[in-house]
Amino acid sequence: KLVALTTRKVILLVLLMLLALPFLMVPTSEIFSTSAAWGADSVWQAYVAYTQGEVSREVYEESLLKYVYFHNWFDFRRGCQSGSEECSTLF
């Protein structure tokens, strides 16, 4: 009788886990942010630090320019020209 009761409880526990597990899953899109979200967050943090007087305006502007440069739809990622000062790695 004890074995049958234990077996029944284990079966119910497994079925409950099978039903509850999909509700505990988090979609991958919510775990990993896009580069646009990371960039916007970086610009926002720089702006807040600038408005609170923690950093200079140049830090905020550099953050904004870096975001715009990396997410420019019209730049076809041709790569850096040798000797070019307008390269994304310089930001």
pLDDT in tens, the chain (91 residues): 888 899 999 999 999 999 998 888 877 766 777 777 888 899 999 999 999 999 999 999 999 988 888 777 666 555 566 655 555 545 4
User: pLDDT value at position 58?
Assistant: 93
Cβ–Cβ contacts within 10 Å for residue 88, how many?
Answer: 13
Q: Which two tokens stand for residue 40?
A: 């916007």
Cβ atoms of residues 62 and 83 within 8 Å:
no
User: pLDDT value at position 1?
Assistant: 83
Q: Which two tokens stand for residue 53?
A: 């007087």
Global pTM value: 0.51
User: pLDDT value at position 79?
Assistant: 58
